Structure 1
Amino acid sequence: MITSPLWLPATLMAGATQAWRTAVQRRVSHSLSINAAGLVRYLYGIPFALLLLGGYRLLFPAPMPGIGSRFLLFCLAGGLAQIIATNLLIMAFQHRNFVVGTAYSKTEAVQGAVLSFLLLGERLSPLAWAGIGCGVIGVMILSTGGKRMGPTDFLRALAQPAAITGIASGFFFALTAIGIRRATQEVGGDDRIVAALIVLATTVLLQTLIQGAWLILREPGQMRAVLASWRVSGQVGLLSALGSACWFTGFATAPVALVRIVGQIEVAFTMAFGHFYLRERMRRSEAVGLLLVVSGVALALMGAL
């Protein structure tokens, strides 16, 4: 159920911010291990997440909302799923280019639609499902580089490391969305933005403890590298906090599947960053795939009206 029209601009802003953050994080990942590159978004995101929550509370003062008994459990589940998803996405980047790695992870839209129906009972209109199908076809074109493939070739392509890690990343991102939505539902009150920001601050703190402890125990040298990379990593933390605040607001005010379908517009922003920021060439087939993804987003929006 959509509880506020705020979900749409929040989701669009989340897509743009996440594409920017992922592009910057990919550059950091060249000098850090997978776990260290994942940690920077949480560790350096903490101060910005707390500033967002504190600033919003100053602008809109109100009594602190009540917190349900399962709040921490859902924050922990969503946060852990996001750690796994982020690490898998970074691994996908190591097998293929930035755009293709992200494209595989965008199968999250259809995975999220199925999981949110099974776990949350959320239903979509036939038009929204058509949008999912259109978007998935676009993602597949992006992931295969527009090559003509028979069924055997397509299955072989899906067995490649980039496909496996990218699709697995999408699965865990879908689980992240479900965990975060349930966490926001455990926060009382009518202000869904403050609920999203409380969940964000809590989740980022938990993620920093989990992945930070892993790094200290297993890769102590990488922890020093994370601290030394504060100039670039600080940008990742800022963009991560802003993007997550927008995603969490979307999850708090609209069905998970709908937010993730519209969130596929991130692919458009990703291609722009890949082309202009990372200097990666854009093929004609990628433009066709992009058009299908955008068409899928439009169909999903029409189905939500």
Structure 2
Amino acid sequence: MELWIPITIAAAFFQNLRFVLQKILKGQLSTLGATWSRFLYAAPLAVLFLIGMITIGGYAMPGLNGRFFAFALTGGLAQIVATSLVVYLFGLRNFAVGITLKKTETVQAAIIGAVVLGDRVGTAGIFAIIVSLVGVILLSGPSERPGLRHMFSRSALVGLAAGAIFGVSGIGYRGAALALDGGDSFIRAAVTLAFVTTAQTIGMFFWMQWREPGQARKVLSVWPKASLVGLTGMLGSLGWFTAMAMQNVAYVKALGQIELVFSIAASYLFFGERISRNEWFGMALILSAILILIGLKAPG
């Protein structure tokens, strides 16, 4: 088994656990506050991890350049926006449905690639897109009354937007790691993670001071829970960054759909949320579409 595979599965697990904790925090903090907690407590851990790799692990610091900063800042900004959308979505739909809508990023990437880059989709790809569209329709409206009119509901649009922006974030992080001068996948991922989380923490702090004065103090006041968000967020990001430094983003994101399994378990175990028959069917359709695309993307 290639190393990026278990690393990706671990990253999906920690990311799902982080979203569980953020959903819990959403009851005490604003959307911005719950989002910032993920970066605030992750940044020091990421920096310490990088220092440890250099001082104890004997890794050499890769060379930084303008291309790295451009990719890293783009990916970091996209992640802030996408994470905020997902946290907001948790207030609209149950946990598993929210994560599933976010996970449409794989299907959206195929559509964007066909329109913007002229990538060939093929009959199977078109079928996968149609299947995923039906799944989104089932998830977009009230669980007992799904329908096409709900395709443009707030929850559906927020979930789809989050998925698309997370895709941009992944490309930015892979580009940043590959732009570094020297080093293997692990040190490249550590450098990217330390820089991005630090920049995100500082940037969001000033944004919150402008938009929501006092919210930063609330995040600090709930540090026992918020620090766990930071820890799981750091571990998840380290896994994603390392996997994407080793393998194409499309393959990493495709395997990362295993997060859907974790989200269904979390929805039941942590929140006691009931998933309706239509929602089960909708999630199954989206997962089927994703698996079709994974088959089309897998190296021959």
User: TM exceeds 0.5?
Assistant: yes
Q: Does 1:194 align with 2:187?
A: yes
Q: Which residue of 2 aligns with 1:272?
A: 265
* Counterpart AA for 1:185: L
TM-score for both structures, normalised by structure 1: 0.85
TM-score for both structures, normalised by structure 2: 0.86
| Aligned residues: CA RMSD | 2.9
Deviation for aligned residue 1:243: 0.6
Distance in 1, Cα, partners of 2:210 & 2:219 = 14
Summarize the Cα distance change of 1:248–1:125 in structure 2 as closer, same or farther, 3 Å threshold: farther
Matches within 5 A, 1:36-115: 36-57=33-54, 60-115=57-112
Distance in 1, Cα, partners of 2:209 & 2:100 = 32
Q: Which residue of 2 aligns with 1:177?
A: 170
Distance in 2, Cα, partners of 1:292 & 1:171 = 19
Distance in 2, Cα, partners of 1:118 & 1:290 = 25
Give secondary structure in 2 for the equivalent of 1:70. helix
Distance in 1, Cα, partners of 2:90 & 2:253 = 21
* Counterpart AA for 1:236: V
Contact 1:128 1:302 in 2 (8 A): no
Q: Which residue of 1 aligns with 2:205?
A: 212
Matches within 5 A, 1:12-23: 12-23=9-20
Distance in 2, Cα, partners of 1:261 & 1:22 = 19
Contact 2:107 2:293 in 1 (8 A): no
Summarize the Cα distance change of 1:50–1:115 in structure 2 as closer, same or farther, 3 Å threshold: farther
Larger deviation: 62-71 or 13-22? 62-71
Percent identity (aligned): 36
Q: Deviations over 1:104-136 (max 9, x none)?
A: 1111112234556788x7979979948964666
Summarize the Cα distance change of 1:115–1:299 in structure 2 as closer, same or farther, 3 Å threshold: closer
Distance in 1, Cα, partners of 2:86 & 2:30 = 13
* Counterpart AA for 1:271: I
Give secondary structure in 2 for the equivalent of 1:179. helix
Give secondary structure in 2 for the equivalent of 1:77. helix
Deviation for aligned residue 1:251: 1.7
Summarize the Cα distance change of 1:15–1:72 in structure 2 as closer, same or farther, 3 Å threshold: same
Matches within 5 A, 1:251-266: 251-266=244-259
Distance in 2, Cα, partners of 1:35 & 1:171 = 20
* Counterpart AA for 1:64: M
Contact 1:110 1:136 in 2 (8 A): no
Deviation for aligned residue 1:267: 1.1
Matches within 5 A, 1:24-43: 24-43=21-40
Q: Which residue of 2 aligns with 1:238?
A: 231
Q: Which residue of 2 aligns with 1:162?
A: 155
Contact 1:13 1:246 in 2 (8 A): yes
Q: Does 1:7 align with 2:43?
A: no
Contact 2:81 2:165 in 1 (8 A): yes
Contact 1:40 1:236 in 2 (8 A): yes
Give secondary structure in 2 for the equivalent of 1:165. helix
Unaligned ranges ≥5, structure 2: none
Deviation for aligned residue 1:266: 0.8
Q: Deviations over 1:30-50 (max 9, x none)?
A: 111111111000001112212
For this pair of structures, how many residues does the alignment match? 297
Contact 1:104 1:139 in 2 (8 A): yes
